Chains A and B, each alone.
Chain A
Amino acid sequence: KAGVTQTPRYLIKTRGQQVTLSCSPISGHRSVSWYQQTPGQGLQFLFEYFSETQRNKGNFPGRFSGRQFSNSRSEMNVSTLELGDSALYLCASSLVGGAAGAVYEQYFGPGTRLTVT
């Protein structure tokens, strides 16, 4: 099975611009999560999507948004970029627990390294 793919891998943007990052999950995985990794704050959860609905959202400003398509692919968007948005953005996909509930492991993509100048 192909792993999680993310595009682009590297991106340089100017403050004030907006950016869209893309993620394709592992086939059969319907949950897609996004994380931001910075040296200062570590790995922080942004949001999670399942069945085209946002199920969970981390503590980030409204400039950060996302969506999921019917094929489970996901995009995240950051508007009005700030210098502090420079980070590695990681996408992860996982199976979703059934009626009895379960939390499955997430598989991560290689990330998109965003630099804001």
Chain B
Amino acid sequence: AQKVTQAQTEISVVEKEDVTLDCVYETRDTTYYLFWYKQPPSGELVFLIRRNSFDEQNEISGRYSWNFQKSTSSFNFTITASQVVDSAVYFCALSWLNNAGNMLTFGGGTRLMVKP
């Protein structure tokens, strides 16, 4: 069974703090894909990153960075020097090559509140 767990339901930080959002996944497939999405108060899910199971390189994009570790089945997301505009719900999601389609399994989401 495919499963994504985001243990942190809510995190509150003060602006300029670094924050890490945890994501742990379960899958029996050897080829799978992991994603992060941001859902601001407007409601639309915004794509942040896609990573396949064969690429364990960490990625940095501006203040955002992702740490993928297959050994611990984790795909954590770090925001450096957080800003109020980062306040949103963040979802980690999993898909796999043999699901005959494009189904995403989402974690429960982490609500991040960045206070000025």
Contacts and interface: CB of A to CB of B under 8 A. Distances in A.
A31 B106 contact: no
A22 B91 CA distance: 24
Contact of A45 (B42, B50, B100, B105): B105
Given A56-B100, A105-B50, A106-B47, A42 B108 contact: yes
A33 to B, nearest CB: 6
A84 interface: no
Interface in A48-67: 48, 50, 55-56, 58
Contact of A103 (B42, B45, B96, B107): B96
Contacts of A31: 101-102
Judged by DSSP, the binding face of A is strand
Given A43-B91, A103-B97, A105-B50, A111 B44 contact: yes
Interface residues of B, number: 27
Interface residues of A, number: 30
Given A42-B108, A90-B45, A111-B44, A106 B97 contact: no
Contacts of B101: 31, 33, 48, 50, 55-56
Interface in B55-105: 91, 95-97, 99-105
Contacts of B43: 88, 110-111, 113
Nearest to B44: A110
Contacts of B91: 43
Interface string A17-53: 0000000000000010101000000111100101000
Interface of A: 31, 33, 35, 42-45, 48, 50, 55-56, 58, 88, 90, 92, 94, 96-97, 101-111, 113
11 contacts: A31-B102, A35-B104, A43-B91, A44-B106, A45-B105, A50-B102, A103-B33, A103-B52, A105-B35, A108-B45, A108-B46
